[in-house]
Amino acid sequence: MGNCASALVQGVQFYKAAKNEEQAVGLKHLLLGGYHPSDIEFVSAFDIDKRKVGRDLAEAIFSPPNNTLKLSEVPKSGTIVQKGPVMDGVGEYLKNIIQISDTPQVNVAERLKASKTEIVLSMLPSGAAKASEWYAEQAMKAKCAFVNVTPVPLASDQAWSERFEKASVPVVGDDLVDQVGATALHKTLLRLLSENGVKISETYQLDVGGGTESLDTLDRTKDVKRAIKTKTVATALPYKTEIVAGSTDFVDFLENRRDSYFWIQGTYFGNVPMSMDIRLCTVDAPNAGSVLFDVIRAVKIALDRKAKGSLESVSAYAFKNPPRAKPLDVAEQWFQEFIQGKRER
């Protein structure tokens, strides 16, 4: 129940009354496959921090250490945050920030069944690999679809995909893209320049952020996320070149904000050199909202069709490390074809 969960819950309330595209500024799709954002209902929630466990979802999303923007007033939902397992969920850098609840942990799979949960969103810290896999297990036990927002390889791992297939439920992932994403922007710029005949020789994209997720990334998954982002950015070019992309540092007073820095160097007509410096400033949590709205509704469509295993089209559209990475335009086409029923997965 971190910052991204807070923005997601607030977003459902924010767009609840939107009846047309003009009233849905900030969303890519108001309606998707017949589903509206207001069709999303939060019926179960889990955390380990004592300031969230035992509280209504509407209160927990604004409890420390959450520090993202307040987008809307959220009425009490009746959904109480339950204590999940700690496992590897708290990194060294977060030990003085997270206050672990002494409430006994619940049986997550039974809670998912009792609440009639259909889709589980794993919004754990990036470094919580064991916990990510454990929640995936609970989702399969409860016959729930699984959305892996983290970079832990699940949807992109063949063995895990086969397990979800055997459990007869879908899985999507891994590592969610942002709506105003540094990775997507980087790829778009590189592709635009390359298609115009510019030869890219070197490029980097580095992120500096505040908030618990940025701190946890610096502590436990900096190298993993850098490898994923670099690999994803490389798909934008038809040739190999020097690329570095990923998180680089934490600044506490940025809170839930993130600054992304881009540098691109290359040559154009007559072998004349060019270089480009860009800075992108965003707030982290709301950046996940629009994409998650699309993912949740697409997975619900998959459930309606009784699809199972890795959904390659949804994963390619919304995640940095999908089972099959594709250029942005191809991923968009795949996603639309899936929504329209023209692609099986």
Return the minimum-mean-pLDDT range out of 181-195, 202-216, 259-273, 302-316. 202-216
Return the minimum-mean-pLDDT range out of 108-112, 175-179, 245-249, 313-317. 245-249
Name the pLDDT band for 197 (thresholds 50, 70, 90). very high
Rg from Cα positions in the chain: 20
What does the angle CA 125 – CA 126 – CA 131 come to, to the nearest 5 degrees?
A: 65
Specify the pTM.
0.90
Nearest to 171 by CA among 51, 303, 3, 81: 303
- 114-119 mean pLDDT: 98
- 186-210 mean pLDDT: 95
Please state, in angstroms and rounded to a whole number, the distance separating the CA atoms of residues 217 and 209. Answer: 10
- 188-204 mean pLDDT: 96
pLDDT tens sequence across 218-251: 777 788 888 888 998 998 999 999 999 987 788 9
Name the pLDDT band for 267 (thresholds 50, 70, 90). very high
Would the pLDDT of 120 be above 90? yes
What the chain holds in terms of domains, given with CATH numbers, is 3-177+288-339 (3.40.50.720), 182-283 (3.30.360.10)
Please state, in angstroms and rounded to a whole number, the distance separating the CA atoms of residues 136 and 17. Answer: 33
Name the pLDDT band for 91 (thresholds 50, 70, 90). confident
